Structure formats: C-alpha cells, structure tokens
Structure 1
Amino acid sequence: MRRFAPIIFLLFFFSGFSQNRPLLYNVDDLPQSLLQNPGARIDFTRHIGVPFLSQIHLSGGSTGVTAYDIFADDGTNVNQRVSNVMREITSGDYFSINEQLEILSFGWKMGARGYFSAGIYQELDVFAYFPKDPALLAFEGNADYIGQDFKFSDANFMGEVLTVYHAGFNYKVDAKLTVGGRFKLYSGIFNAESTANDGFFRTVETPGGPNFYLHEVRGLDVTVNTSGYASLKEEEDMTVDKAVAELLSRSFFGQNGGLGVDLGFNYRVTDQFSINASIQDLGLMFHQKDVENYNYFGSFQTNGLEPLFPELDGNEPTIPYWEIFEERVDRNLQEETTNNTYTTWRPLKYNASFQFGTGKSILPCDYLLSKKPRFMNLFGMIISGVNRPKGPTYGVTAYWDRKVTDNLRFRLAYAVDEFTLTKLGFMMSSRFKNFNIYLAANDIIGYTNLAKANSASLQLGMQFIFKDL
C-alpha cells in the first residue's frame, strides 16, 4: 500500500469543490455553451477569452457520505462513526472530483452560416467507487464475517490530468437546424486506473480440520495501470514540490496522447420550442510512455500456523514458522511490475434537453438573421450523464432563464442527481460593452454547510464577446 500513497495524493492534490455543467448549457450568448454542445445556437460573431480566466470550473461530490458523517463534533467516538458509515455506504457509492481551467479560447464567424472556435484547456478528473469489502476487512477484520466473501472487484478507480487542444465548427443548416462538431487532441500529464479487478477473500469454519478456520484467497487479479508516475517515483529526493513542478512542466506537451470528438445539434421545432442533444469526449487515450503496471494475482488457502515442539538440543535452531509461511504466501500470491502500454476511454458525457420561450422580444442579435425573435423567459429541462466503469451517472435539471436586458441574464435551476434530491443552482452573466463576466454555482444549499454537503460546484470566467450587426 505504501507505493500507492503518492498516487492517491497526486490524484487529490488539485481537488476542489458533477462533471456536467447544466447551468451554462443552452446559454446562447456564452462561448462556453459550445464546449458542451458544438451545435448550440449562438448570437455572437467573435469571442476571445482572457487567458487562464475565461473558464475556471471546480466541482466535487460523494454519494452516501459527507465530511460531517466522519468528523462531526457531537461527542461520539470517531471509530464508531467510521464503522456506521462503512456499514451504510455501498460499493456502488462513489467520490468524484473534476477541475477544468481554460487556458485559451477564441472564435469568429465564418461565412454566412458558420462559426469557428478553438482553444486549450487543462482538466483533472478523478472518480473512485467506495472499496467497501477491502475497507471493511481492513477496518473491522474478518471475525464477524465468517463465510462472507470480501470482493477485490470493489476496488475500482480512475484519475487523470491532461491538456486538451480543440477546434470546432458550428453550422446553421437552415432556420430550424444547427449542427456542430469539435475535434480534440489530448495530451496526457498523469493517469492512474484500476477498473477490472477480480477475486475474493473468505474465512470459513472447519470443525473437522486441523484448525477452527480456513482462510482463502481465490482468483486474485488486481491491476493498477499508471502513466506519468514511474518517473516521479524513481527520481531521487523527490518531494511534493518537485512532483508538482514536474507535472506542471508537462502541462502543454504531455508524454502520452489521444484523440476525441464532440458532436451536437439544436433543432427549433417552433419559434418558441426547441430540442437539442450532444455528446462530449468520444475518444481514447493511448498510454505508451512513462508507463508502469502493478499486478497482484494468485490463489492461496491456509488453516494458520501449526507449531510443533520437538526436543531440541542447545545447538539446534527453532523452526522458522513465520518465514515458511511468508514463502508459501509469496509463491501463491504474486506481485509483478511491468511496463505494458494500455488504452483508456475518456469519460463520455451526454446531454439532451428541450427549451420553451415566453415573453417575445425582437432584438438584432443573431449573426445569421438581421432580426430574430428572442424570448425574455426561457424554461427548459436537461438530462445529462457521464459514462463510468460500473455504469453511467446521471442528473436531471429544470431551469428558468431570464434575459433581463441584452447585457444581463440569470438562470435559476433545480436538479436531481445521485448526490442530492435538492440541488439548487444560480447563474448570472453580465456584459459591459464587449467585456463579459459570468458566475455559476450549483447546490447552493450545500454552501451553507460544506461539511454536510454531498456535492458542490463553482464556475466563473471572463472574456470579450462581440455582436457585429
């Protein structure tokens, strides 16, 4: 376990307070909507983001447990609180952290119907299921779980840090349909994943055997793949500061690469009603450099030590029972370190929504039409999700979007997802001439007491947006 401590630290070093961002989805006067749906309708002709400040996104959450459940100052014993949480949480509960920093963003109108956009952003994504069986075995032991299997498949996690270079094109086919696509080049900085483990540990009673209990490990097959980690581990006098500096030095040109695409559309059924959908990060990462894999495999069973007490003279050594036992374990439960290349899918994200407008106003704000109908109130619903190793995570968001003026709008949202049933969100976007600033916060109720919150999300940015007539 000591070798995995640095991995765990690196995964959580950049953590902040799910990966989908419904508060900016369908916001037609923000370029960030094109990152979620390259086929979104937009009403600007050019944009350029303030470097490193056009989008800062931090989000995180956990299902089944909060910090308060563990660290509550209520006079109870912390070990008892941990035990209670471990009994209640399931192997399907998970922890998620996502961070995204937009380094560069720009775009401009092309022809009468097209809009080209491109940029660079850095992303961290960590997702780990709660390893219930291994954690329960380590914390409470096996005395109260005779005959029960402790499954090693519960150990399931992935984490990566990468830089994304992207270019997209948004095209208005006609007055009703807009489509778009985005091509992405991934530059890997760090990756660790362990998602296909197997085997179990079990203790059973053996009344007629040489001992009361039989302990066995069956079909153990646990693999942890890493890239960008081996060089950090092997360097002498490596400290946290040096590790962070090394990772930052890879920010623009990492050691491993990949390819991906985003696709989307928006269809205006009527002037008031529209539907749209998108997929993001349909792509692969190819880990070929600075790769190290750790594999633990085998089967073993034992009734425990069976000491004998022979007559020994003063020169005879005692029987080395523990050394013999260790040799048996090492022969049957093996550890192997390799440098095999591996491939991972990026976590595929998908969105689908509908939107209905009321309060019609006419403003010259569409780059494809001299005038278009604009609605001051927009009501919509978004279904979003992310593919994960044990199945997709999901959420449903309903929102009211109010365009107060051409330079000020806000959105109020209510969402239900796997973190909470009462997620309130707020977004505000304001423009001063061509300078835009926006702020979006999700799960506002959780901000009143972050220790009791299952999730939190914050997104902000500033940029220059132009609407040439």
Structure 2
Amino acid sequence: MWKKALILFVFSTFLANAQNRPLLYNVDDLPQSLLQNPGARIDFTKHIGMPFLSQIHLSAGSTGVTAYDIFSDENNNVNQRVRDVMNSITNRDYFSVNQQIEVLSLGWKVGNKGYFSTGIYQELDVFAYFPKDPAILAFEGNADYIGRDFKFSDASFTGEILTVYHAGLNYKVDAKLTVGGRFKLYSGIFNVESTGNEGIFRTIETPGGPNFYRHEVSELNVRINTSGYASLKDEEGMTVDQAVSELLSRSFFGQNVGLGLDLGFNYRVTDQFSVNGSIQDLGLMFHQKDVENYNYYGSFQTSGLEPLFPELDDNEQAIPYWEIFEERLDRSLQDETTENAYTTWRPLKYNASFQFGTGKSILPCDYLLSKKPRFMNLFGMIISGANRPKGPTYGVTAYWDRKVTDNLRFRLAYAVDEYTLTKLGFMVSSRFKNFNIYLAANDIIGYTNLANANSASLQLGMQFIFKDL
C-alpha cells in the first residue's frame, strides 16, 4: 500500500501556482478574459480560436523550496541540504502545477446586449502539500524525536487530468452593469486524491516497562482514491509511452463526468472607475468508473521483540518471533483495496478587482459599451485565489495596462503571493487585421535562473477576433 502511495505522490509532485492568470484578467479585447470572468467587459463581436493554439498555459511552483536549495554546489553534502530544506519548510508549503490547452474556442454576438461563447479545453492540475512529518520520519528516523507526534495528516495531495466542455453568455444589463455565466461539463481522464488523513506515530520512553521505548500508531486512517489509474496499473508490461497513449485516447470522452459553473460581473461605477469579480469551477466530479481506493487504518503498540533462547533438541523449532509480530501487526493495521465510487470538488477559484482609466479615447466599435469612451491607460488591482485541501491560496496583483494603438497593447504587473514577494509579469497582445496573437509571462525575474525560482508561468495563443463597426 505504501509503495502505491509513494508512486502516486511522486507522480503528482513531478508532474507539477495558482491557476489564476492575472495577466489576462480584465483584458477586454481577448476572449480568454471570459474564461476568468464570464461577466467581463469586452469590445469584440466574434472570435474563432486556432484549434489547440488559441490558449496554451503552463505554470508550476513551490513554496518554501526551490531546486537550487537541494542541488546547489555550495554544500557538497546532499543529505545535509535535504535536511536543511525539510527543517525550513512547513506542512503548509506545497508544490503545484497547472496546464491548460484550448482545443476549440469560438463566440459571437447575440442580439444587441449578449455575447455567446463556447469551447473545449484540456486541463491538468496537481497540488501536493509537503508531507513534513512522514518525510522526517522516513529520512531521519525517530531516534532524535522521542516523544514527538508524527502526523499522517501532513500527507495531502490532489491531481487530475480532464477535458472541459463549456458554454457561456455575457450580457450587458445596462450602461453600467455586465453579468455572465458559464456552464461546464467535465470529462475525467485521471484523478488521484488523498486528503483528510488521520493518525499519529510516536515513540515514548518506558523506563519501567519491558523495554526502554514503546512505539505507537494511534487511530491511523489513510485513504488514497484513484480513477483512471486501475486500468493502467493492471495492464501487464505497459510502458510509459503506452500509458500516455491510453490517457490521450480518453481526452474527449473520459470515463467519469462532472458539472460546474462560472459566474461573474463588471460594474462601471463611473466612466473611469469599475469593479468586478468572478468565481470559476464551482462544481463536482463524480468518479464511478475505473475506480480503486487504497485504505490503511487501525492502531498498534509495540515495545519490540523479547526473544527467548531455550535449549532445543533436534525435533524442536525456534519460536517464529518475526512471523508472530507480522501477524499481530496485520491484525491491528488493516491494508484494504476497494472499488468504491467517490466525489471530489473542483478547486474553486475566485477573483475580485478594481480598475481606473486615464487618457480618454473613443472606441466606436465597442458594442457592449454603447460607444462609451475607452481609456489608453488602465491601472488596477486584482485579488485572486483558489480553494485547496488545507485552506485557500491567495495572490494580489497590481498592473498598468497600456493600449498603445487599436492593434497593440501591453500590461506590466507586480504581484505578491505565497510563492514570492517580487513577481513581475508582462503581457503583450497584437492584432494584424483580424488575426490576434498574445504572450504573457509571469515571474520574469525567475526566468533568469529557473532552478532558483519558486514559480514560473507562461501563456500564449493566437486567434481571429472581429469587431463589427
């Protein structure tokens, strides 16, 4: 069971930032802003994405540790570097990755006030907390930690690959308020999750007992749920390439399904000042097919073995102490594999922001704004986050958005989040007639030395965007 848990945890960690993308949030001439806020203010009347190329998003990060901390040449003692890292980070530090590819994206104006958009995207999301207590116990043992409780609740991770089919409506209620919603159908490809684990391991001194120490496992309850994994595991001799091919074959029609909803709004307090907010992926996944659960539970105490060495004749056998110990351990700590369906919440994401414009200009093709003025300089702040098993992650981003011409704009951003206090971002979007291309990179400082960076994020895409006059 523990071997399976280790494989799944390593798989989750090395496949691996919050999913929020502040560099495209509130960008009113990019359709991708509707994926973050279905009620966003927009200024186009139709869009058609290049299949598989309209949005490619990759991001990864870790809090509290970087690759440089472990593989640096400054200290040749690798064990000491690992020990220093484990002592410096906490059980609330985490590793994360998010990848998203837009397979299909299109939208068009509906009536005088609406805009309908639909599409398909594939997403991978992995989030794993650092299992501090189990890691210290495995790496250093318990000799220096007599009387300390090692908590199995530190082990907590989720990972999923899925395809999302979505359709949304952006609707201008009046000159000030725009609202929107997006319905999502999730098609699950792969899922693994282990959250809410319980149990404690401790070693205590027992001077008056049968031994100097007693080892205890108290109220252990560890569970790992998987879907889409059992069929891969059961295929004898399956290679990594074959496993990847099998996962890709499920891309459009996965074995498990779910439902979700995005909601958002934008309110123009004045011509220059606006506020908006959104929630994404308020939804559930129902895992019922190709499901396998690994459970380990129970309590156990031992003061070690107390062997006796009686004189034996040729017909007598030595007492099988180890077999007796194993039987007692197996009776107390149960290892069980089941095939029970389970349900998971998608990681709910949320955004709230305000924006102030300066440098007035007229944008006659902005049908949703009824030919209201636009502003060449936009200054704003975004608060964003995502729900995770041990509580929400967060980030605050301030930005300057400059519309250089009708065909060129850029955004500079500075963010503070759980990865770093110095995250600089840059986005540029350019249009050639109706063809649009954009690029956004976050944590630019980290790109100078990726091994020493806590996070990195890159987005790019190309599409056709139409603005009817």
Contact 1:376 1:403 in 2 (8 A): yes
Task: Report SS of the residue matched to 1:104.
Answer: strand
Deviation at 1:371, TM superposition (A): 2.4
Q: 1:466 corresponds to which residue?
A: 466
- Is 1:286 aligned to 2:286, yes or no? yes
- Is 1:80 aligned to 2:76, yes or no? no
Deviation at 1:318, TM superposition (A): 1.4
Cα distance in structure 1, aligned partners of 2:369 and 2:236: 63
Give the partner amino acid of 2:18.
Answer: S
Q: 1:161 corresponds to which residue?
A: 161
Q: 1:189 corresponds to which residue?
A: 189
* Identity level (%): 84
Deviation at 1:18, TM superposition (A): 2.1
- Is 1:403 aligned to 2:403, yes or no? yes
Q: Please identify, of 358-367 and 423-432, the stretch whose mean Cα deviation from structure 2 is larger.
A: 358-367
Task: Report SS of the residue matched to 1:396.
Answer: strand
Deviation at 1:281, TM superposition (A): 0.2
TM-score (norm 2): 0.98
Task: Report SS of the residue matched to 2:274.
Answer: strand
Q: 2:203 corresponds to which residue?
A: 203
Deviation at 1:35, TM superposition (A): 0.1
Contact 2:75 2:81 in 1 (8 A): no
Deviation at 1:239, TM superposition (A): 1.2
- Is 1:223 aligned to 2:241, yes or no? no
Task: Report SS of the residue matched to 2:367.
Answer: coil
Deviation at 1:370, TM superposition (A): 5.5
Q: 1:322 corresponds to which residue?
A: 322
- Is 1:4 aligned to 2:5, yes or no? yes
Deviation at 1:94, TM superposition (A): 0.6
Contact 1:11 1:160 in 2 (8 A): no
Cα distance in structure 2, aligned partners of 1:371 and 1:116: 20
Q: What do the CA deviations read for 1:41-79 (whole angstroms, capped 9, x no partner)?
A: 000000000000000000011111000011101243000
Q: What do the CA deviations read for 1:328-348 (whole angstroms, capped 9, x no partner)?
A: 111101100001100000000
Q: 1:421 corresponds to which residue?
A: 421
- Is 1:446 aligned to 2:446, yes or no? yes
Compute the RMSD of aligned alpha carbons.
Answer: 1.1
Q: Please identify, of 369-378 and 206-215, the stretch whose mean Cα deviation from structure 2 is larger.
A: 369-378
Q: 1:299 corresponds to which residue?
A: 299
Cα distance in structure 2, aligned partners of 1:450 and 1:113: 45
Task: Report SS of the residue matched to 2:368.
Answer: coil
Cα distance in structure 1, aligned partners of 2:329 and 2:190: 33
Deviation at 1:313, TM superposition (A): 1.1
- Is 1:345 aligned to 2:340, yes or no? no
- Is 1:99 aligned to 2:102, yes or no? no
Cα distance in structure 2, aligned partners of 1:14 and 1:313: 59
Cα distance in structure 1, aligned partners of 2:201 and 2:426: 48
Q: 1:142 corresponds to which residue?
A: 142
Contact 2:42 2:368 in 1 (8 A): no
Give the partner amino acid of 2:162.
Answer: L
Q: 1:170 corresponds to which residue?
A: 170
Task: Report SS of the residue matched to 1:190.
Answer: strand
Cα distance in structure 1, aligned partners of 2:183 and 2:158: 24
Contact 2:18 2:393 in 1 (8 A): no
Cα distance in structure 1, aligned partners of 2:20 and 2:242: 32
Contact 1:285 1:346 in 2 (8 A): yes
Q: What do the CA deviations read for 1:180-215 (whole angstroms, capped 9, x no partner)?
A: 000000000000000010010000000000100000
Q: 2:242 corresponds to which residue?
A: 242
Cα distance in structure 2, aligned partners of 1:14 and 1:32: 25
Q: 1:263 corresponds to which residue?
A: 263
Give the partner amino acid of 1:3.
Answer: K
Q: How does 1:13-162 map to 2 (within 5 A)?
A: 14-15=15-16, 18-162=18-162
Segments of structure 2 that go 5 or more residues without pairing to the other structure are: none
Task: Report SS of the residue matched to 1:282.
Answer: coil
Cα distance in structure 2, aligned partners of 1:157 and 1:85: 20
Q: Please identify, of 4-13 and 130-139, the stretch whose mean Cα deviation from structure 2 is larger.
A: 4-13
Give the partner amino acid of 1:169.
Answer: L
Q: For the structure 1 residues 421 and 13, does the alpha-carbon distance in structure 2 shift closer, same or farther, using more than 3 Å as the test? A: closer
TM-score (norm 1): 0.98
Contact 2:94 2:130 in 1 (8 A): yes
Give the partner amino acid of 1:242.
Answer: Q
Segments of structure 1 that go 5 or more residues without pairing to the other structure are: none
Structure 1 segments of 4 or more deviating over 3 A? 8-15
Deviation at 1:236, TM superposition (A): 1.6
Deviation at 1:2, TM superposition (A): 2.6
Task: Report SS of the residue matched to 2:5.
Answer: helix
Contact 1:365 1:372 in 2 (8 A): no
Contact 1:217 1:301 in 2 (8 A): yes
Contact 1:255 1:290 in 2 (8 A): yes
Q: What do the CA deviations read for 1:3-48 (whole angstroms, capped 9, x no partner)?
A: 2355346535754x92100000000000000000000000000000
Cα distance in structure 1, aligned partners of 2:290 and 2:163: 17
Deviation at 1:362, TM superposition (A): 1.1
Cα distance in structure 1, aligned partners of 2:370 and 2:96: 45
Cα distance in structure 2, aligned partners of 1:101 and 1:386: 20
Deviation at 1:369, TM superposition (A): 5.0
Cα distance in structure 2, aligned partners of 1:339 and 1:185: 24
Contact 1:38 1:180 in 2 (8 A): yes
Task: Report SS of the residue matched to 1:29.
Answer: coil
Number of corresponding residues? 468
Cα distance in structure 1, aligned partners of 2:173 and 2:391: 35
Q: For the structure 1 residues 144 and 6, does the alpha-carbon distance in structure 2 shift closer, same or farther, using more than 3 Å as the test? A: closer
Contact 1:262 1:282 in 2 (8 A): yes
Q: What do the CA deviations read for 1:85-135 (whole angstroms, capped 9, x no partner)?
A: 111110011111000000000000000000000000000000011000000
- Is 1:376 aligned to 2:394, yes or no? no
Contact 1:18 1:457 in 2 (8 A): no
Task: Report SS of the residue matched to 2:388.
Answer: coil
